[in-house]
Structure 1
Amino acid sequence: MAPLLEVNDLSIGFGNGPSVVDGVSFALNAGETLALVGESGSGKTLSCRSVLRLLPDAAQMRGGSIRFNGAEGAVNLLSLPEKKMRAIRGDRISMIFQEPMRSLSPLHRLGDQVAEVLRLHRNMGRTAAKRAVLEQFEKVGFVDPLRAWKSYPFEMSGGMRQRAMIAMAMVAKPELLIADEPTTALDVTTQAQVLGLIRSLQAETGMGVILVTHDLGVVANMAQRVVVMNKGRVMERGDAQEVLGSPAHPYTAKLFAAAPMIPAVAAPAPASTKPAEDVILDLRDVSKTYTMRAGGWRKPVSVSACQHVDLHLPRGKTLAIVGESGSGKTTCARIAMGAERPDAGGEVLFRPDPAAAPLAVHDLSPTERTAFQRQAQMVFQDPYSSLSPRMRVQQALTEPMEVHNIGTARDRREKAAEMLRWVGLNPDMLGRFPHAFSGGQRQRLSIARALTLDPKLLICDEPTSALDVSVQEQILTLLEDIRDRANLSYLFISHDLAVVARIADEVAVMRAGVIVEQAPPDTLFYNPQHPYTRALIAAQPEPDISRPIDLDLVAKGAGSPMLWPEQFRFEGHHAPALRELEPGHKVRCHA
């Protein structure tokens, strides 16, 4: 039987330069998952986009063929007329794109965008399409599918937008699904559920899947065959068991060595009953409620983003907040930065120096706020959007110093060059624009920009989630080195427990706006108590084909609080108190 998709000797280039995809070949059978693995810039995405003929205008198809043997017969996708190609895109072949904010229209509601696929390719009426979309939204993990239907992309978190993107690609039940880093922006519990959803749809329809990823744990849980790419060429290919079990190429072995994993902990962290005296950032009873418009004559809806959050960050330490998308992590970070005001009764205190009096962040005068913003900086999740495409690197790095009237133009340029050296980049790059850098390099630029003001507090919002494993390893090493060198304090937001285990001194696990467990990493991984914490640990994919994700355990912990064991169970917003079960280990449970 012929493969569902055959890619033979594919070569793609730009201008007069060498081919960036050079002689790539692979085949995919119906019902099978093929993983394309490699670092940023290896040619994975370009190879996949060529299947749908969605290459940039400047790209040159220099050779090769792509044959699709679908239910309606075999076709060469590269020579197919554009009208017939449009009928295939989004229907028989779908793609989940990596950057949902760029792939979704900001002018249309999510429900209408997903339903458009069914109206175009299935001629469905509005009512039937809405019913199918709401069912798909529920499958990809939306707690309130109807609210998601009515929302615009900018009203949702990055993980929520990615769920909508996945729903759009899967709602028509395609014969071939191309998933380009489909779970990068998702928390591990949702990732596990989405991977399970893809597998169940495969079993139901015989769909083939090309999975583009840098996460070897995802590969181990999903793929039957693996193709490893580097610099546009295939380094290694074969059955997943062989490639993951005993990689033959040094490049594959290097990727394995860089993969983050939750450590095996032999003992809990030493108990400490003495509270930290030098706290640089203090969140006290912080809650935040948003009012969402309901449309028409209906009453606005109140949404609680976080409730009664108490967090204390000692100077020179790293406090990590972990949880799924929509759990309130970023809201807490924005409140800590002063970008959002907490509900009445909550306060944020910042102590710039050990001997200084604490400052109430949300009651600062304009002069005090300017001083605070110089001492507290933020590194954002998306390195592509956090730098202006119109500003050269030198302008991007010197702008914060200009705003705060620091130094002369020469001083600012020298400081910018020094910060580039700090993050492992060459000062000769100051004249370039952001588009000339890879994702990992742009994240380094974002960190350098935050460091130009010599801050004392750095808030990192998912700083490594969009990066491949080797670059992620470099960025974490860089953050640790800078923290120790400059005595920085980090509030580190993440959904990845393996990353948190590497960098954090204390971990707070959030779910649905409340902290459900808090402890040092060793204690948390040695003796996790809350069902949601256990689900997070169980959902962490490992690059070991013999240790698949336990979807049942994930579903129990990540499901409704009404289904949790009685000690932790609650209904609505009436969660039990956060209790200290042992010194330094707090769990939200009934007495």
Structure 2
Amino acid sequence: MTPLLEIDTLTIGFGAAPPVVDGVSFSVMPGKTLALVGESGSGKTLTCRSVLRILPEAAQLRSGSVHFAGTAAPVNLLGLSEREMRRIRGDRISMIFQEPMRSLSPLHRLGNQVAEVLRLHRDMGRAEAKRTVLEKFERVGFADPERAWRSYPFEMSGGMRQRAMIAMAMVAKPELLIADEPTTALDVTTQAQVLGLINTLRSETGMAVILVTHDLGVVANMADDVVVMNKGRVVESGSAAEVLSAPAHGYTAKLFAAAPMIPEVAKPSRALPHDDVILDLKNVTKTFTMRAGGWRKPTLVTACRDVNLQVSRGKTLAVVGESGSGKTTCARVALGAERPDPGGEVLFYADTGDAPLPVHGMSAAERSRFQRQAQMVFQDPYSSLSPRMRVQDALTEPMEIHGIGTRADRRDKAAEMLRWVGLNPDMMARFPHAFSGGQRQRLSIARALTLDPKLLICDEPTSALDVSVQDQILNLLEEIRDRAALSYLFISHDLAVVARIADEVAVMRAGVIVEQAPPRTLFYNPQHPYTKALIAAQPEPDINRPIDLELVARGAGAPTGWPEMFRFDGITAPMLREIEPGHLVRCHA
């Protein structure tokens, strides 16, 4: 059989430096999925971008060819004119990009951006295009496709924007889909459904897929063939069954060793005592008013409802849930960045035995002290670090604002924090763009630590990192927690990460906590159908243990389809009940 795409000795470089993609060769067969695996900086994305000829301006295509067969005559994509390439991009070959906020226009509604593909390549009318897009929005997991159609990218969460990118790439039913880390920002239930959707479309249309990923669990569930890249070269390739069952190269084995997995637990652990609390969220509800556009009446959206959480001193409370479940809203309320609806309050206890400090009723002096003691590590370090500030300025700025120390003291503290997070103080003269994603996340952690906080709120700190860097960041967070006696409120959608770092886990769905327990209890004895779906959706790097999509769909579906004990309609959810010591489940009595 003739390959659909054949890349032969592709070499790409920048300036006079050694090539960053060095003699890469592989082929993709029609209707098959090839997984391109490797860490950040291994050359995976540049290789894929060369197929569509959307490389950075400074990149040099030094040698090689990219032949595409498809339904038309075979062509060398590197030799086509720009006009001919425009007919192929988005129609015969589509690409899902890793960072949707950079790829989507902030000035246009999501629905119009996705429909543009159909109007350009299928000459489809507006009404038919809208109907097709709404169907695709529903298939990629939008609970309200009409609202998604009307929304701008900045009004949606990271996971929601990624769903829109996936819909845009798939709406024209391309012959080849290049998916560059398509599920990195998605929660595991949506990831499982999107992977199932890609597989379904592949079988329906016969399209081929190049899946760029660092997640070997995703590879095990999706790939027919695997190509492993390291430092611009192919170090191993073969069928998925061969590579996953017996990796021959040391680098591939290293990736396996770093892959996070939910541990198999023999018995549940005891409940965590809440006798020394540093942060207490009581009956927190937060409602936002969303503009509807035009003359339509604004709509009210309840991001979280009646949330009660306690972070024990020196421990880690993890909040897990899908994109849009209200996790980040809870974190913002906890830090005082958002005010809860009347009836809710957040209390902070600086030291054991201190009187509680109401986070939303503080004086200016109290707020300044609180901001020193509670810091946040954001999901996207590239956005949270100013591109115009050198590392030294970014790290010393918080101390300067709070009037801590002399200029030399602040510089010494910044250098110490860099050493804490495993970076060299000599890097302080650099700008953030000179660092890798994992290094930038380390810088964000170092910046949060410069004020010697007592509470650290981590919002998806490892979601965009490859497995080996993620492993390093988790090691770092655990070491810092123990060294500085920190307390963590850790927000994530990855249960394997949570199983490793958390002392207690709260599972959120649609703004409410549905189950809460220590991780070993939660993973050994899950009760709620949504928790079971989260566990079932966690991909494992084992080709013989595929994701159970039926179980995932049942638990992640509408509450009206859950078993009678957990079922509800509208917002009348049952109460959280303690079914065993420290194990809370939202269910009917």
TM-score bracket, normalised by the shorter chain, equals over 0.9
For residue 568 of structure 1, give the secondary structure of its aligned residue in structure 2.
coil
Contact 2:265 2:523 in 1 (8 A): yes
Q: How does 1:439-450 map to 2 (within 5 A)?
A: 439-450=437-448
Structural mapping, 1:237-252, within 5 Å: 237-252=237-252
Tell me the equivalent position of 1:575.
573
Given the alignment of the two structures, is residue 549 of structure 1 paired with residue 533 of structure 2, yes or no?
no
2:504 — aligned with what?
Answer: 506
Distance 1:355 1:257 in 2: 43
Distance in 2 (alpha carbons) for counterparts of 1:292 and 1:583: 40
For residue 360 of structure 2, the aligned residue among 337, 359, 362 is 362
The residue that corresponds to 1:18 in the other structure is 18
Residue matched to 2:524 = 526
Instruction: For residues 237-288 of structure 1, give each alpha carbon's deviation from its aligned partner in whole angstroms, at most 9, with x where no partner exists.
Output: 000000000000000000000000000010001246xx42210000000001
- Is structure 2 residue 187 aligned with structure 1 residue 198? no
Match of 1:453 in 2: 451
Secondary structure, counterpart of 1:490 in structure 2: strand
For 1:95 and 1:383, the matched residues in 2 are separated by 24
In structure 2, what is the equivalent of residue 349 of structure 1?
347
- What per-residue deviation string (whole Å, max 9, x for no partner) do you get for residues 65-119 of structure 1? 0000011221110010000101111111000000011111111110011111111
Partner of residue 494 from structure 1, selected from 492, 495, 503: 492
The residue number in structure 2 matching 1:395 is 393
Alignment of 1:151-550 (within 5 A): 151-271=151-271, 275-550=273-548
Deviation, structure 1 residue 368? 1.2
1:146-204 CA distance string (max 9 Å, x none): 00000001110000000001000000000000000000000000000000000000001
Residue pairs, 1:31-42, within 5 angstroms? 31-42=31-42
Q: Secondary structure at the match of 1:362?
A: coil
Matched, 1:148 2:143: no
Counterpart residue identity of residue 170, structure 2: M
Task: Please state whether the residue corresponding to 1:87 is helix, strand or coil.
Answer: helix
Q: Aligned equivalents of 1:322 and 1:276: distance in 2?
A: 20
Distance (whole Å) between structure 2 residues aligned to residue 192 and residue 376 of structure 1? 35
> What letter is aligned with 1:258?
A
Residue identity in the other structure for 2:248: A
Size of the aligned set, in residue pairs, is: 589
SS in 1 for 2:533: helix
User: Which deviations, in whole Å up to 9, do the C-alpha atoms of 1:187-231 show, x marking residues without a partner?
Assistant: 000000000000000001100000000000000000000000000
Q: Give the distance between the partners of 2:274 and 2:293, measured in 1 at CA.
A: 48
Q: Counterpart amino acid of 1:390?
A: R
Counterpart amino acid of residue 8 in structure 1:
D
Letter aligned with residue 262 of structure 2: I
Q: Distance in 2 between matches of 1:314 and 1:526?
A: 23
Aligned residue for 2:286, secondary structure, equals strand
2 CA distance for matches of 1:193 and 1:130?
Answer: 22
Provide the secondary structure at the position in 1 that maps to 2:285: strand
Q: Percent identity?
A: 80
Task: Output the amino acid matched with 2:516.
Answer: Q
Partner of 2:70: 70
Following the alignment from structure 1 to structure 2, what is the Cα–Cα distance between the partners of residues 156 and 344?
25
Q: How far apart, CA to CA, are the structure 1 residues paired with 2:271 and 2:366?
A: 38
Cα offset, 1:367, TM superposition: 1.6
CA-CA distance at 1:296 after TM superposition: 2.4
Superposed CA offset, 1:271-328 (max 9, x none): 46xx422100000000011111112222211111000000001100000000000000
Partner of 1:123: 123
Alpha-carbon distance in structure 2 between the residues aligned to 1:64 and 1:16? 18
Distance 1:296 1:462 in 2: 35
Residue 377 of structure 2 contacts residue 457 of structure 2 at CA under 8 Å; is this kept in 1? yes
Counterparts of 2:274 and 2:240 in 1: how far apart (Å)? Answer: 48
* Partner Cα distance (2:404, 2:73) in 1: 67
SS in 2 for 1:298: coil
Change (3 A) 1:475 1:342: same
Could you tell me how far apart the structure 2 residues matched to 1:295 and 1:47 are?
41
Shift of 1:365: 1.3
Q: Which moved more, 1:233-242 or 1:363-372?
A: 363-372
RMSD across aligned C-alpha pairs, in angstroms?
0.7
Secondary structure of 1:384 counterpart: helix
Q: Distance in 2 between matches of 1:360 and 1:72?
A: 67
Letter of the aligned partner of 1:32 in structure 2?
Answer: K
Within 1, Cα distance between the matches of 2:403 and 2:316?
30
Using the alignment, how far apart are the partners of 1:446 and 1:319 within structure 2? 20
> What is the rounded CA distance, in whole Å, between the counterparts of 1:306 and 1:172 in structure 2?
36
Amino acid at match of 2:528: H
Q: Distance in 1 between matches of 2:310 and 2:234?
A: 48
Deviations 1:354-392 (A, max 9, x none): 132111001111221111111110000012211111111
Residue in 2 aligned with 1:113? 113
Q: 2:271 touches 2:517 (CA, 8 Å); kept in 1? A: no
Distance 1:403 1:336 in 2: 22
Once residues 82 and 371 of structure 1 are traced to their aligned partners in structure 2, the CA distance between those partners, rounded to angstroms, is 58
| Alignment partners' CA distance in 2, 1:296 and 1:33 | 44
Please state if 1:43 is matched with 2:59: no
Tell me the TM-score normalised to structure 1 length.
0.99
Could you list the runs of 5+ residues in structure 2 that have no partner in the other structure? none
Give, in whole Å, the separation in 2 of the partners of 1:514 and 1:155. 21
Q: For residues 537-587 of structure 1, give each alpha carbon's deviation from its aligned partner in whole angstroms, at most 9, with x where no partner exists.
A: 000000000000000000000000000000000001110000000000000
Q: Which amino acid aligns with 1:72?
A: A
Distance in 1, Cα, partners of 2:368 & 2:46:
44
